[in-house]
Chain A
Amino acid sequence: MKKGLLLLALTTLTLVSCGGGNSTEQEKDASGNTIVKIMFHVNKTTAEGKAYQKRIEAFNNAYKEEKIKAVPRFEARTSDNKFEQTLINMKVEGTLPDIITFDAPNCASYAYAEILSDISGQISQDERNDFLSLNEYNGKVYGLPIQESSAGFYYNKNLFARAGVDVSGYTVDNPWTFDQFKAVCQQLKNSGITPVDMRITATGDETATYLLYSFIHAAGGDFVSKDGFTATGHFNSAETKSGFSYLASLISSGYTSYAIGPTDFFNGTVGMYLSSGWTIDEFRDYTTNFPDRNSWGLLPYPQGTAKASATGSWSYGVTDNGVADKSATYKLLKWMSSAESTTVVTNATGMIPSRKSCNPTYEVGSAEWVLLEQLSKTGKERPATVCYPKFSQCFGRIIDSLSKSNLSEIIDGQTNELQKLLNERK
């Protein structure tokens, strides 16, 4: 008995003492293959996940001779920011994989937190020019986009016909104005249809920020200074506030509300639905109301004094996980970010390829075409700041408070919160 107890005590001690100790060598498996770990933000069973898997398998075949093996891992991103927390957790633990996918606006924040490492040296000038955008921080490249995205207003053609609304004239080159947007909403409302789901309840994660920030830009507003360290005077400028009040007026006029359920649009009770390119796929699950592509359409963002639309998607980044020799990692990065891989992935997701050389061809007038047009003509990125998660939280809180009478004060308060943190990081 005593021996057993001693054993228990000893195991406790060894458990306690065996912690820490980051290896700086790239891991190898039993047969001598260099293991490169890569983590994706999607579920293995989704079309996107399958596309990644296909490319990983192709990589492993091509690099059999060189004894490099890529091991993928799939951590589906859910609406409670779990993926982001997982990344931070891995950094704290010291278990970051070699390559991760990350939401592009987090680039500066992750670079600052030493989750990502500088990959400027790995990209030639030609390649730089081929990407539609790069994820940069302090003049260095930290991420290569997988695909690009844009968002817009999906609309239910049946309901629009019933309300007698004609929106065929509104294109990317000839956008509707803020007022015209409201006029359409009013017409829908007159016919007893809930006009639009602005996704103002999607504040639990990045969704609301991603879909709505461009309204502020379109109103002439701004969030942070160029260097990313001043929010005061930008986030709470008169133009920014006017952008938020426009969104607020959509609620007060009864065009949208916090009570709209997440599937109300698909169940045919709401006229318009603000969402990104991924929604094109989602229509397949709602064949009763949307039997085919002719039953719905996509409208670009309405524009105010300036032109802006939502952009940004997920990128590949090489992590700062203490591994000294990253040559195998870079080979996998090159492979996954190549035009060929990009084409495979974007064919699966229906999103816009991040490389010009992929040269996608969409039918003129199709939803994909509208998104691509919009992206290249009015796309504007989310603010680059080392406190991006905090920014997104502040933005979400304002969106959550749109129906309050002291909106202006709330914006000032959130600006202050963000500025305080920025001052600390300067």
Chain B
Amino acid sequence: MLVSALIIFAVFLLIFGLVVFFDVRKAKKHNQKYHFGRAVTAFLLLLPATLFAFFFVLLPILYSLGYGFTDYYLTKPNATEFVGFDNFKAAFEEIAEGGDLAKAIKNTAIFVVVVVPLQIGLALLLALFCNNKNRGTVIFKVCFFAPVTVSLAVTAYLWKEILTGSETGLMNQFLALFGIPAQDFLRNDDTAMLWIVVASAWQGCGFQMLIFLSALTGIRKELYEAARMDGCNAFQRFLRVTLPGLKPTLVYIVITVFIGACRIMVQPYLMINVYADRNITISYYMYEQVFTSYRVGYSSAVAFLMTIFIGTITLIQRKFLGEKKR
């Protein structure tokens, strides 16, 4: 491992050296000069970030690809051997035969597809609701925002308690008011993931609301007035003025919420305290592969596939949402 890290570091330095070399030569051609002392200062300023980024960002990505081609067993790193595409093949077979990975992908997909629009839509509605000068709106704002201050682990515990299957559970008592019999919300295969969505959206949307609010205050009031003068009704004003004004913020929020949703693990892991069909997500699956079966190699292969997938979708989102801006 040390050797491979050193090699990667050497390659990293080499590329950097080449770029510096060409830059200096180019500057000479144009009769410009780099201030030597200032360049050294710049390198020194960049050094800590570069080292940290190398070890904790770049190297993990490269290793995640590298491990994918080995049979790395967690407790026996020295016995690691190259196995070619075996891990990737195993992953695709697992998907093909509907194994745990297929279920994990399904659950993650359900979560992402429901939570992204729900959370963002809710956040936008709440932001519009609060975006006025009515007295007392601040109190509403604080209420909508309060769940954000409840951390994921606490959210998971709280909602587990609310949704507990026994008749004394909060949600069951609420339903009992309408004569609906007690249900075990988190044990039901069809609804478990949706309740996890509810808990996540509840906890998360206040944060996006805040971002939307700050973007809304950034939209110039004159534009609204102008639109009003042009005879636009409230909805048209929203479409013509608010949405375009929110676009950059919206792109940012869609991408971050999407990526965050793809890596969902803590809520299903803590809300349902068993590794089961209804709560496996891709991240949870990878985690269990490492800590129950010790398969680092295989898990890394899955991680790499997931990285490629998320990266692609993010690029598409950016392209799609970015183009509309014009």
Contacts and interface: CB of A to CB of B under 8 A. Distances in A.
| A contacts B: CB pair < 8 Å | yes
Interface of A: 2, 5-6, 8-9, 12-13, 16, 20, 79-80, 85, 88, 91-92, 113-115, 203-204, 258-261, 387, 389-390, 393, 396-397, 400-401, 404, 413, 416-417, 420-421, 424
Interface in B154-182: 165-167, 182
A82 B292 CA distance: 12
Given A387-B293, A393-B288, A261 B55 contact: no
Contacts of B99: 413, 416-417, 420
Interface string B59-76: 000000000000001111
Contacts of A261: 166
Nearest to B183: A259
B293 A390 contact: yes
Interface string B257-283: 000000000000000011111000000
A421 B48 contact: no
B61 to A, nearest CB: 18
Contact of B45 (A5, A85, A397): A5
B76 A203 contact: no
Contacts of B184: 258-259
Interface residues of B, number: 33
Contacts of A88: 74-75, 291, 294
B44 A16 contact: no
B292 A389 contact: yes
B187 A258 contact: yes
24 contacts: A2-B41, A5-B44, A9-B51, A12-B47, A12-B52, A16-B55, A85-B291, A88-B75, A91-B75, A92-B74, A115-B75, A203-B274, A258-B165, A258-B184, A258-B187, A259-B167, A387-B293, A393-B275, A393-B292, A397-B274, A401-B277, A404-B189, A417-B99, A424-B295
B293 A12 contact: no
B229 interface: no
A203 B273 contact: yes
B42 to A, nearest CB: 12
B75 A204 contact: no
Contacts of A20: 2
Contacts of A421: 293
Nearest to A388: B292
Given A12-B52, A259-B166, A393-B275, 5 more contacts: A6-B44, A12-B51, A16-B55, A258-B165, A390-B293
Given A13-B51, A259-B166, A397-B276, A114 B74 contact: no
Nearest to A205: B273
The 6 closest A-B pairs by CB, nearest first: A204-B273, A203-B274, A113-B75, A259-B165, A259-B166, A91-B75
A252 to B, nearest CB: 15
* Residue among B48, B51, B294 with the highest chain A CB neighbour number at 10 A: B294
Contacts of B293: 387, 389-390, 421
A25 B292 CA distance: 31
B173 to A, nearest CB: 14
A88 B295 CA distance: 13
Contacts of B100: 417
Nearest to A110: B75
Contacts of A92: 74-75
Nearest to A11: B48
Given A6-B44, A258-B187, A390-B292, A401 B276 contact: yes
A113 B294 contact: yes
Interface in B32-47: 41, 44-45, 47
B15 to A, nearest CB: 20
A404 B184 CA distance: 13
Contacts of B165: 258-259
A204 B274 contact: yes
A2 B44 contact: yes
Contacts of B291: 85, 88
Contacts of A390: 292-293
A396 B274 contact: yes
Given A113-B294, A259-B166, A397 B44 contact: no
A8 B48 CA distance: 8
B77 to A, nearest CB: 8
Contacts of A260: 166
Contacts of A91: 75
B76 A113 contact: yes
Contacts of A404: 189
Nearest to B78: A114
Contacts of B273: 79-80, 203-204
B276 A400 contact: yes
Nearest to B169: A259
Interface in B225-284: 273-277
